[in-house]
């Protein structure tokens, strides 16, 4: 679940995650956070140490983004503070997407395909279709 068979390495990743979300640790307790982190890491299924580190970063990024969203909704705060927290949450959510794409590339599950059309010539009265075309059969 940490991408490494060394139990001390898993403990280190869990400790890093827990210290990255101190408000959650205070509210729910470190033991509960560790159990939740193990469940999340198991779901991500990192296959290497690098993937384990990235998965831990993803977990922390997700947790902090949601905390920023929660704090942005607090009523007794200046508008600037709420906007700052919302913008922070949005940046973190974008980072999470980048992390997901990186993990997918590391795991070989992200396949990108690029088609470049350099020139299309359509004569008068001609028709062109741009997009996916599935062959149809005439019965």
- Per the domain annotation, does 124 fall within a domain? no
- Per the domain annotation, does 100 fall within a domain? yes
Residues of the domain holding 94: 7-106
Cα–Cα dist 125/19, whole Å: 67
Instruction: Identify the weakest region by mean pLDDT among 30-34, 63-67, 80-84, 128-132.
Output: 128-132
Rounded mean pLDDT of 61-85? 95
- Per the domain annotation, does 125 fall within a domain? no
Cα–Cα dist 21/53, whole Å: 16
Count the domains in the chain: 1
Residues in the chain: 139
Written as one string, the DSSP assignment of 9-70 is HHHHHHHHHHHH-HHHHHHH-HHHHHHHHHHHHHHH---SHHHHHHHHHHHHHHHHHHHHHH
- Per the domain annotation, does 128 fall within a domain? no
Give the pLDDT score at 102: 94
- pLDDT tens for 24-42 read 888 888 888 888 889 999 8
- Per the domain annotation, does 12 fall within a domain? yes
Tell me the whole-structure pTM to 2 decimals: 0.71
């Amino acid at each position: 679940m940490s991408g490494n068979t060394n139990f001390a390495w898993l403990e280190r990743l869990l400790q890093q995650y827990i210290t990255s979300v101190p408000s959650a640790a205070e509210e729910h307790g470190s033991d509960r956070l560790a159990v939740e982190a193990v469940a999340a890491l198991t779901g991500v299924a990192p296959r290497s140490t690098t993937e384990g580190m990235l998965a831990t970063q993803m977990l922390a990024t997700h947790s902090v983004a949601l905390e920023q969203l929660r704090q942005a909704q607090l009523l007794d705060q200046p508008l600037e503070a709420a906007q700052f927290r919302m913008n922070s949450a949005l940046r973190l959510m974008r980072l999470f997407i980048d992390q997901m794409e990186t993990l997918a590339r590391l795991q070989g599950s992200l396949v990108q395909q690029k088609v470049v059309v350099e020139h299309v010539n359509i004569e008068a009265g001609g028709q062109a279709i741009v997009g996916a075309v599935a062959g149809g059969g005439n019965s």
